[in-house]
Structure 1
Amino acid sequence: MALTLAASGKLIIHDLMTNGYFPDRIIPPVNALGITVALPDMMKHIRPIMLGMLAKQANKLRSRCVTHSVPKRKHLRRSLSIPNPLHQLMAAAQIAHDWKDIYKFCRQSPLSLSMPVLGTDRAVESQNDLNKQPFFRAQRSVGARFLLKTDIARFYPSIYTHSIPWALHGKAAARADKKYALFGNRIDLWTRESQDKQTGGIPIGPDTSFIIGEIIGTALDLELQKKLPNIKGTRSIDDYNLYLGSISEAETALAVLHGVAKQYELEINDPKTEIISLPDRFEPAWKSDLRGLVIRDSGQPQATDLLSLFDRAYEHAKNFPTDNVLTYAAKQVLSAKLAEENWIFCESLLLRAALGEPTMLSVVGDVYDHYPAFHKNNGALTSALESICSYHAPLQQGNEVSWALWLAKKMGVFISRTVGDKIAAVDDDIVALIGLDLIERGFLQTSKLTLWRSRMNATHLYEDHWLLAYEAHEHGWAVAKTDYIANDEFFSILQKHGVRFYGGNLAPTASYYGYSDDGDVPDETEEFIEDEPEVTPI
């Protein structure tokens, strides 16, 4: 059934600034849920700033995003971003205000499976989750003989912020708008301000960026449809599966897609482009194989099943190094009924797998939660967590280190000084926060805090360590001689309301440029600032 416009509902600033703000791959105690109480006063503070920026008055207050390195696929990394709350609130306010128009625009896509809709775990989510997408691909591939499979190279990092209004309003109209009358130009402005006025790329992680990505993706789809009216296929974020009748049609579609992407300053990912003769699999072989395995309920049969599961998972992981095969196997364990007599063996299999795929540590934590009575000794867990930290800390791979430290806190694991000194050299705010917490609790030893302490001052409140600068002061970990939070007009609002972005009591989050310098702010802009969607129902 086709979605109606009413199905879009009302997107509110509160949702974008709480469960839609921080990326969903960071450790649970780091989130923005505590910002709720401060939002009304934050909005009062930023309104005049936004008006001044739209009027092109001098604005020296720019900011940079906190970055957090996560694994993308083997030997490749991705940097997630946490924008400064000052400029992120500007972007959230604009997108919430114009949500109905954005939703209406994205609904036009003939290909998208990832159209943004109001979410439950996040502020917005894809209309279709990954598990449902094979069904759509099956339906849309009927009658086709070839599949063109491709994606956009470095999609979020290569989005040109000016292409946001190009997509929504057309390039000519966007360039002719000298007074920010078009909301696409305002989204462009706020996005750029959150990353030190850079036009190249958008932050990866916030739901505002997911929405922007879908705006760009929809524009690509519509241009593709104009040139190839009978095109059939799917797009999920930036992944295309197009279904054609012949190789020549597939080659033509690829050439057209190259041209369409270029209009928006994007490039097709040639190494990942394939033309495949149909029929072909809709999901990788490893998933079908592991899904079919049964883990019996007790005794030696269960131990044999566990061994078989992980042996096959290890083999599949070698053949599919870009997929989270071992994490999938860990979830199979979580859904089984584990016998206590097999606990030590199962724990060994899980921890052995975690060394090769540390992203599964969140699932390992769930397994420990599920069988608390079985776990009586931290010896194996300590060895595994220290090994993960020792390996990934010197490589500055913050995601793996932070998840290991989070599990250490959860399970009461002590980290030695030798490993602690390596952790303290990781220049990552998420690692620093969980590390400082463990030091305070006596679970982590290190004497090398010079790096983290150098970020705990007023200078970094609008730089790429704003999160550590704010949280360290509010938790009492900073050694500053003055209350630099109270002395800052914006962050003092958060302080007054007791906002914390790190804490064990917080629930987890379940993932500009003016074309002219002249002219006044139009009346429509004034109305936007004053009549901005209500923040009070928080």
Structure 2
Amino acid sequence: MSTAAIKKRAAEMRLRKLLRRGYLPAELPPPFTSDDFAASAVSFAGKWDAVQIRKYWTAPEAYSIPRYGDARRKLALVNPVNQLYVSHIIAENWRDIRARVARSKTSEFKPEFSTHSGGRAITGVDFDGVARRRARLLSTFGRYVKTDITRFYPSIYTHSIAWAILGKAHVKTNHHSMAFKSHFANHLDKAVGAGQEGQTIGIPIGPDTSRIIAELIAVEVEEIAKLHIPDFENRAVRYVDDMLIGLDEHETSAAVLSGLSLALYEYQLELNADKTGTFGLGCPHTPEWIHFVRTFSLTTRASQQRDDLDSFFEHAIFLADQNKRENALLFAVKRAASFNLQSQNTEHLVRWMLYCARRSATCLSFVAEHLAAVHGSTPLPDAEIHAYILQQIPIKAAAGHTNELAWLLFWAREISLTVPASAMTHVMALRSSVVGMLTLDLWHKSLISGALDFSFWQGFANEAGLKSEMWLIAYEATRKGWWPKSQNTDFITTHQFFADLWNANVEFYDPSKKARKRVTPSVLAASFDQGQSLGSSEYPF
């Protein structure tokens, strides 16, 4: 096989990975899939006109997930036409991109294409490496300043993508030249913008391609920071947009932060004052909560396990309250799922899990999937679970909390819980394909009692709908024939892009997919024993 053929095959493999395991947000319930799309991606990339895609402006669906307290983050379900083009550019030019990000000596995020069959397409942060380098900063300097970038992904100026690849000065000087206009850096800028209706501020949170783009820009910020902060590479560590910088004995954090601010300013970014602080000598030192959660030992005696569970969760809740910006309670719930409980104590654990899901919305998706996975094989307090789901559906729908609502609907589907139509009033008005597809799935399984009005969602089943944030339900519900009223399919079958998806039998929702086995206690226990930080998010706050 020739060198060119080998490179071509490698690029095709990268494209399929980016679209199979790096496209849709990992936070979606299991039925949402891009496997079919990835399988045909190479064919689509070879057929679709890149110039036409750059002109095909679409809106991504916003998928609201909880962060901490009342704070939330909006993930994006980018239109597949635009996301394929972004992924294709990165896959084709990966060697150049990897060389750019590999220059960083401070980053503990080294984006590479994962060789594992599970998980995301791109490898994640080395949190153990962060911990080691943090200890080194304390031993070498005694103090360090910790900060991050304010709303990193939403603040990125898309034109700065080209700056990060070619250099800001070069782009400013040559942006009218044909060489620049035809360069992949310029095409990547345009491709990202087209997938968000031409917006030049912000990149979508969710796709792995955005993680790569963000790292490109962060590395360039480092290059500028080295000009303003002496010995920067030897005393800094960064993971995504979080940064720790060691402080010399007589150095102030303000002096270091000033240099970092100057570097960020070059890319129209700002430091997050709310998450900036100095740690080490002269500062209060509090223990890490993760150690307690990871090392807690539950007695094997059934009569004492309830007391142990009470103690564990009471301590975990206290630690979560002391660390409000971290998902301590989610870690605790995952750890508890790995406990070797006697069967008579399972209901007690489930009640604590339900309370944690009420107290912290970040816990709900895990609780839903875990309890759905063990349903039927483990004795559970079904009446209490049913009451919780039915109470929370209208509450989350009224608040527009699409992530929690999606998992509640999925949970109801998994345990065959019938949902009254009266609980769905606010659900039916949400601009969310994720919620819409799960609702249609429940309806087709006769798990909704009473009449529902699907006219709002079906109103997007047209050519304009395929460009809107409701593209997924416009395509998917029509393809499946799930609309309660007859629907013409011509708007898809004659479309310049979506017709190819239709003809290739691409589907983005697989109703056969169930709660994943990866949430079983044995898997969780092994992960914690290996020191993995389950549930950590690499998305910048």
TM-score (norm 2): 0.86
Which of 463, 467, 479 is the matching residue for 1:462?
467
2:404 maps to 400
For residues 197 and 241 of structure 2, the distance between their equivalents in structure 1, rounded to whole angstroms, comes to 25
Mapped pair 1:123 → 2:121: yes
CA 497–354 in structure 1, closer or farther in 2 if over 3 Å, else same: same
For residues 379 and 515 of structure 2, the distance between their equivalents in structure 1, rounded to whole angstroms, comes to 24
How is 1:466-477 mapped onto 2 (pairs within 5 angstroms)?
466-477=471-482
For residues 224 and 445 of structure 2, the distance between their equivalents in structure 1, rounded to whole angstroms, comes to 57
For residues 427 and 442 of structure 2, the distance between their equivalents in structure 1, rounded to whole angstroms, comes to 12
1:148 maps to 145
CA shift, 1:187, in A, is 1.1
Shift >6 Å, 4+ stretches? 279-283, 507-510
TM-score (norm 1): 0.86
More displaced 10-residue stretch of structure 1: 402-411 or 371-380: 371-380
2:456 maps to 451
The question of whether the paired residues in 2 share the 8 Å contact of 1:34 and 1:506 is answered with no
Deviations 1:113-137 (A, max 9, x none): 11211223211122x4335421222
Q: Which has the higher contact order (CA 8 A, sep 6+)?
A: 1
For residues 329 and 252 of structure 1, the distance between their equivalents in structure 2, rounded to whole angstroms, comes to 38
Structure 2: which amino acid aligns with 1:495?
W
1:212 maps to 213
Mapped pair 1:105 → 2:100: yes
Mapped pair 1:83 → 2:63: no
1:44 maps to 46
Which of 414, 417, 420 is the matching residue for 2:418?
414
For residues 102 and 285 of structure 2, the distance between their equivalents in structure 1, rounded to whole angstroms, comes to 25
Structure 1: which amino acid aligns with 2:198?
K
Q: Secondary structure at the match of 2:75?
A: strand
Deviations 1:89-142 (A, max 9, x none): 11111111111111111111121111211223211122x433542122223443
2:429 maps to 425
2:533 maps to none
Mapped pair 1:295 → 2:298: yes
CA shift, 1:185, in A, is 1.4
Deviations 1:274-331 (A, max 9, x none): 1233387999633222333211234121111111111222222333232222221221
CA shift, 1:203, in A, is 0.6
Q: Secondary structure at the match of 2:67?
A: strand
Pairwise CA RMSD: 2.4
How is 1:161-172 mapped onto 2 (pairs within 5 angstroms)?
161-172=158-169
Structure 1: which amino acid aligns with 2:36?
G
CA 382–82 in structure 1, closer or farther in 2 if over 3 Å, else same: same
Long gaps (5+) in structure 1: 1-5, 54-58, 511-538
2:135 maps to 138
The question of whether the paired residues in 2 share the 8 Å contact of 1:471 and 1:502 is answered with yes
Which of 488, 492, 509 is the matching residue for 2:499?
492
How is 1:10-409 mapped onto 2 (pairs within 5 angstroms)?
12-46=14-48, 49-51=49-51, 60-119=55-114, 120=116, 121-126=119-124, 128-175=125-172, 176-177=174-175, 178-179=177-178, 180-231=181-232, 232-246=235-249, 248-278=251-281, 285-364=288-367, 365-370=369-374, 372-375=376-379, 378-409=382-413
Q: Secondary structure at the match of 1:161?
A: coil
Structure 1: which amino acid aligns with 2:497?
F
Deviations 1:226-247 (A, max 9, x none): 3224121211111111111136
More displaced 10-residue stretch of structure 1: 224-233 or 299-308: 224-233
For residues 240 and 376 of structure 1, the distance between their equivalents in structure 2, rounded to whole angstroms, comes to 44
Structure 2: which amino acid aligns with 1:16?
L
For residues 195 and 201 of structure 1, the distance between their equivalents in structure 2, rounded to whole angstroms, comes to 9
Structure 1: which amino acid aligns with 2:197?
D
The question of whether the paired residues in 2 share the 8 Å contact of 1:21 and 1:206 is answered with yes
Deviations 1:430-478 (A, max 9, x none): 1111111111112234523333222232221011111111111112123
Structure 2: which amino acid aligns with 1:351?
L
The question of whether the paired residues in 2 share the 8 Å contact of 1:134 and 1:283 is answered with no
For residues 204 and 351 of structure 1, the distance between their equivalents in structure 2, rounded to whole angstroms, comes to 28
More displaced 10-residue stretch of structure 1: 94-103 or 348-357: 348-357
More displaced 10-residue stretch of structure 1: 273-282 or 305-314: 273-282
CA 416–506 in structure 1, closer or farther in 2 if over 3 Å, else same: closer
